[in-house]
C-alpha cells in the first residue's frame, strides 16, 4: 500500500504517529518509575528488618517472648501494645 494520498489521510497518519510516540515515552517513564519504586521498597524492607533485629524481634516470624493477644489469631502483644497482622 502506498503512503497517504489526501490531506485527511496525511493528518490522520501524522496524528497516529504522534500518539504512538507519546505512548512509548509514557510507557518508558512509567517503567522507569516502577523500577525505582521497587528499589525503594526493597531498601525499606531491609531497613525494617534491621530495626526489627535491633528491637529483638525476629523479622521472619514471631518475637521469641511474644504472646498472642487474647481473641486474635494474627496479632501479638508486645511491650508497648498490640501489633496486628
pLDDT in tens, 44-72: 999 999 999 999 988 776 545 555 445 55
Taking the model in full, what pTM does it have? 0.52
80: left (phi over 0), alpha (psi -120 to 50) or beta: left
pLDDT value of position 84 = 52
Average pLDDT, the chain: 80
Coil, strand, or helix at residue 32?
helix
Average pLDDT over residues 18-46: 97
Q: How many domains does the chain have?
A: 2
Q: Is the pLDDT of residue 82 over 50?
A: no
Query: Please, which residues have CB within 8 angstroms of residue 16's CB and are 6 or more apart in sequence?
Result: none
Q: Which long-range contacts (CB under 8 A, 24 or more apart) does 25-29 make?
A: none
40 and 7 belong to one structural domain: yes
Domain that holds residue 4: 1-54
9 and 33 belong to one structural domain: yes
Mind listing the pLDDT tens digit for each residue in 11-22?
999 999 999 999
16 and 43 belong to one structural domain: yes
Amino acid at each position: 500500500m502506498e503512503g497517504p494520498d489526501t490531506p485527511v489521510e496525511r493528518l490522520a497518519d501524522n496524528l497516529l504517529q504522534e500518539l504512538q510516540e507519546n505512548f512509548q515515552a509514557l510507557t518508558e517513564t512509567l517503567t522507569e518509575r516502577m523500577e525505582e519504586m521497587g528499589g525503594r521498597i526493597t531498601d525499606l524492607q531491609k531497613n525494617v528488618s534491621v530495626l526489627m533485629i535491633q528491637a529483638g524481634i525476629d523479622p521472619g516470624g514471631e518475637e521469641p517472648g511474644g504472646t498472642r493477644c487474647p481473641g486474635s489469631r494474627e496479632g501479638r502483644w508486645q511491650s508497648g501494645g498490640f501489633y496486628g497482622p
